[in-house]
Structure 1
């Protein structure tokens, strides 16, 4: 169970955070959220897919790490086998919290139930120095959280544009394995390339002016990473 608390330099002075990778640290995940502002970096490593929330009906984007729940094909023992991580994965176990009225707009929260936290011993990276000042690691986390929050706020307009122009289509993928068996990936959407190509100049101009055209093309380019992901699965098998 999550235990989210506002990060405090007194209460959490001695906390350390493990920054390595591992299934026991919460990295055994099939996918994580990725913001449109990250699509340029994400498409160099991961397929980008879209998922509709059944309750709200809204879409979000995911960087895909595997084909089954709990499968992360980029997790190699205690090493993450990619040069870049989506911000939502990189900031764990921290998150943005909204402050009470009259306080700062946002606060850094920490999940005290996270296995990444070390409360005694010398493992991990310190969050605060002996005087209670933020460590360089914590300053970097705060910057990443700010970027993630800004990306999340900006993503609403991007997903609204995708739906307005009907640019998402349901997607399924057969995953052939070297042993002759097949898996299937279902339940996601990708960019409808035919509809994207058919957009007129006015629609394309609107998307470009609003900053949506680049992440659209990056999401299309990321589909080429499915071949890499299948190869990873076959090597793992």
Structure 2
């Protein structure tokens, strides 16, 4: 269950948010949404895959953390073991949404049902005088970047569809202990199709600022081997 509310100094003056990490705080997730404008940072640590929504016949990009539901191989106790946390993880339990009238500037919302809502512990959201703390200012900046990325993602996925650049991923991983993990339901950039595009198609992708995120998504697949190594280490240490 969620309990979303518009964040205000009047209602949430004493609110604190836990910024540490842990299973109890909702971090045991296999993946999270990412956006093309973030691919450059995400590809340093995580595989970037694409997941199709059959009801809407569209795609979303995800940063992959594990091979099965509830598995986050980057979660090490109360620590996130990577240099970059994807924006969709870093901004929790905040989100961005329309104001009560449904138009105008978007506002910062918060999920008051999140386990990150502290009871006397955590980082203050507002200072005693009601001004936003540096923490909230950072969150607002990240929310803005994520929202802007969402707004620009439609054109990116339309370009991938137009040039038929996504193919289903078939991955079967045999771990050191003989266990087999199968990764299904995801897509990746079709590198052969990309190489076969003519100059006009490549120019169109370049003009739309789509080539860089495509290359970043392709480069990120090297992290699949690193993720398998994390899984093997996790299995070896129980």
Structures share fold, TM-score greater than 0.5 = yes
1:138-149 superposed matches below 5 A = 138-149=136-147
Given the alignment of the two structures, is residue 82 of structure 1 paired with residue 53 of structure 2, yes or no?
no
The CA deviation string for residues 27-53 of structure 1, in whole angstroms up to 9 with x for no partner, is: 000000000001111111000000011
SS in 2 for 1:175: strand
Q: CA RMSD in A?
A: 1.0
Counterparts of 2:165 and 2:136 in 1: how far apart (Å)?
Answer: 39
Distance apart, 1:55 and its partner CA? 1.0
SS in 2 for 1:105: coil
Distance apart, 1:170 and its partner CA? 0.5
Counterparts of 1:90 and 1:76 in 2: how far apart (Å)?
Answer: 16
Distance apart, 1:54 and its partner CA? 1.9
Distance apart, 1:8 and its partner CA? 1.0
Task: Tell me which residue corresponds to 1:190.
Answer: 188
SS in 2 for 1:183: strand
Task: Tell me which residue corresponds to 1:39.
Answer: 39
Counterparts of 1:21 and 1:95 in 2: how far apart (Å)?
Answer: 18
Task: Tell me which residue corresponds to 1:222.
Answer: 220
Counterparts of 2:100 and 2:175 in 1: how far apart (Å)?
Answer: 52
Counterparts of 2:134 and 2:101 in 1: how far apart (Å)?
Answer: 29
Moved over 6 A (4+): none
Task: Tell me which residue corresponds to 1:171.
Answer: 169
Distance apart, 1:181 and its partner CA? 1.8
Counterparts of 2:102 and 2:61 in 1: how far apart (Å)?
Answer: 33
Counterparts of 2:217 and 2:142 in 1: how far apart (Å)?
Answer: 22
Distance apart, 1:104 and its partner CA? 3.8
SS in 1 for 2:82: coil
Q: Which runs of 5+ in 1 are unaligned?
A: none
The CA deviation string for residues 116-135 of structure 1, in whole angstroms up to 9 with x for no partner, is: 011x32x2100001110000
* Paired residue total: 235
Distance apart, 1:84 and its partner CA? 0.3
The CA deviation string for residues 114-164 of structure 1, in whole angstroms up to 9 with x for no partner, is: 00011x32x210000111000000000000000000000000000000000
Q: TM-score, normalised by structure 1?
A: 0.97
